[in-house]
């Protein structure tokens, strides 16, 4: 059986980041470039990002709205993103896409794999005060902050094997809505 690409096989979401690691402006731009080129329904591109690099003013403002759980690990990441999606608001000329959240997820997935290609790791999280963050950055009503993402490098000595909590996955056959009971039957046409 062919193997999963290493970018996928070696992706995981750490809760530990190298507090000494910094990203250059070009690297941050490249990560966002990956999100920018994600597919979206009708090419609606319904996403936007608040971008805080550790040590800068935006990062400091983002930090103040983390929940207790994410405040335990996210601050040491090199980059914090708040991920915004366009949402329906009456009386605006924005053409609402019912796929907006789906598309934002794809954009973050693209960013995640670009990060992996750069030797970096991403953990997405919901553990923040959405209302407070919305007010802090005066997010307009036609945008919603959905998630945040922490991006950074692993500290020396930390690896998937040493650190990742066991993250099981449902069996492949459980994902397939046919009568297949093993991967060998996937294309049997039943």
Ligand X SMILES: Cc1cc2nc3c(=O)[nH]c(=O)nc-3n(C[C@H](O)[C@H](O)[C@H](O)COP(=O)(O)O)c2cc1C
List residues near ligand X by CB under 6 A. 12-13, 70, 123-127, 147, 164, 167
C-beta closer to ligand X: residue 49 or 125: 125
Residues 6+ apart with CB under 8 A from 123: 13, 14, 15, 73, 74, 77, 149, 150
Tell how many helices (H) and how many strands (E) occur in the chain: 8, 4
C-beta closer to ligand X: residue 166 or 187: 166
- Give CA–CA dist 83/47, Å, rounded: 7
Taking the complex as a whole, the smallest distance from the CB of residue 138 to ligand X amounts, in Å, to: 24
Taking the complex as a whole, the smallest distance from the CB of residue 141 to ligand X amounts, in Å, to: 22
Taking the complex as a whole, the smallest distance from the CB of residue 91 to ligand X amounts, in Å, to: 30
DSSP state of 66: B
- Give CA–CA dist 107/112, Å, rounded: 9
C-beta closer to ligand X: residue 90 or 174: 174
C-beta closer to ligand X: residue 13 or 106: 13
Cβ atoms of residues 77 and 17 within 8 Å = yes
What's the token pair of residue 12? Answer: 């995981």
Taking the complex as a whole, the smallest distance from the CB of residue 188 to ligand X amounts, in Å, to: 30
C-beta closer to ligand X: residue 127 or 139: 127
Taking the complex as a whole, the smallest distance from the CB of residue 147 to ligand X amounts, in Å, to: 5
Phi, then psi, of 183 in degrees rounded to 5: -55, -30
Which helix (H) or strand (E) is 115 found in, with range? Answer: helix 100-117
What's the token pair of residue 90? Answer: 């009456």
């Amino acid at each position: 059986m062919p193997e999963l690409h290493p970018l996928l096989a070696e992706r995981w979401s750490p809760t530990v980041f190298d507090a000494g690691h910094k990203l250059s402006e070009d690297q941050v731009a490249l990560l966002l470039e990956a999100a920018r080129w994600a597919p979206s329904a009708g090419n609606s591109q319904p996403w936007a990002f608040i971008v805080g690099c550790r040590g800068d003013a935006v990062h400091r403002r983002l930090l103040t709205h983390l929940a207790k759980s994410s405040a335990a690990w996210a601050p040491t990441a090199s980059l914090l993103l708040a991920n915004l999606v366009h949402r329906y608001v009456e009386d605006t000329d924005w053409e609402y896409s019912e796929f907006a959240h789906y598309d934002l997820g794809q954009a973050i997935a693209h960013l995640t794999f670009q990060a992996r290609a750069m030797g970096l790791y991403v953990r997405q999280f919901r553990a923040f005060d959405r209302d407070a963050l919305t007010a802090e950055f005066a997010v307009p009503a036609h945008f919603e902050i959905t998630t945040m993402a922490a991006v950074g490098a692993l500290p020396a000595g930390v690896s998937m094997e040493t650190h990742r909590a066991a993250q099981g996955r449902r069996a492949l056959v459980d994902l397939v809505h046919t009568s297949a009971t093993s991967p060998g039957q996937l294309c049997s046409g039943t």
